[in-house]
Amino acid sequence: MSEPLVIPCPHCNGLNRIPAERLGDSPKCGRCKSAVILAKPFDLGQGAYASQIKGDLPLLVDVWAEWCGPCKSFAPIFQQAATQLSGRCRLAKLDSEANQQLAGQLGIRSIPSLILFRNGREVARQSGAFPLPQLVAWLTSQGI
């Protein structure tokens, strides 16, 4: 048996301990009973940020805005990446308009911006939209 992974629930921010070999079994949150592992991006806001960047499963955040054309065309690619990387990386979308304070705190200068967090720390960042194979290749180079 391996050490369980600590994974925040995308719904209630509760921390779950899940053995790596159970990640594919649709594990449920111990607190709110919702699915902990999603195959799609979830919305990240100021209140959930500190909880969601924690844990053993990396978190990739797409910083976007409603008025941004490239952000909109990147959305389906980000969605596909979430499906492809389910169980290996968690994907979240941060609306920079609705969360201006957090976007400022993260030093966002252009959107879309992608920020990768692992164990509560930023480990990599990219600006601009790119095709799915390139996105996956970048994440692979980060050990995902």
Q: Which residues are catalytic?
A: 68, 71
CA distance 25 to 139: 23
Residues 135 and 126: their CA atoms lie apart, in Å, by 10
- Judged by beta carbon, residue 14 or residue 87, the one nearer Zn ion is 14
Choices 2-10, 46-54, 64-72, 86-94 (CB under 5 A): range interacting with Zn ion: 2-10
> Which of 53, 71 has the CB closer to Zn ion?
53
Q: How far is the CB of 11 from Zn ion (least distance, A)?
A: 5
Is residue 86 a contact partner of residue 118, using CB atoms and an 8 Å limit?
A: no
Binding mask 5-44 toward Zn ion (x if CB under 5 A, else -) reads: ----x-xx-x--------------x-xx------------
β-strand partners of 6: 17
Contacts of 94 (CB under 8 A, 6+ apart): 43, 44, 45, 61, 62, 63, 64, 102, 103
Residues forming contacts to Zn ion in the complex (CB under 5 A) are: 9, 11-12, 14, 29, 31-32
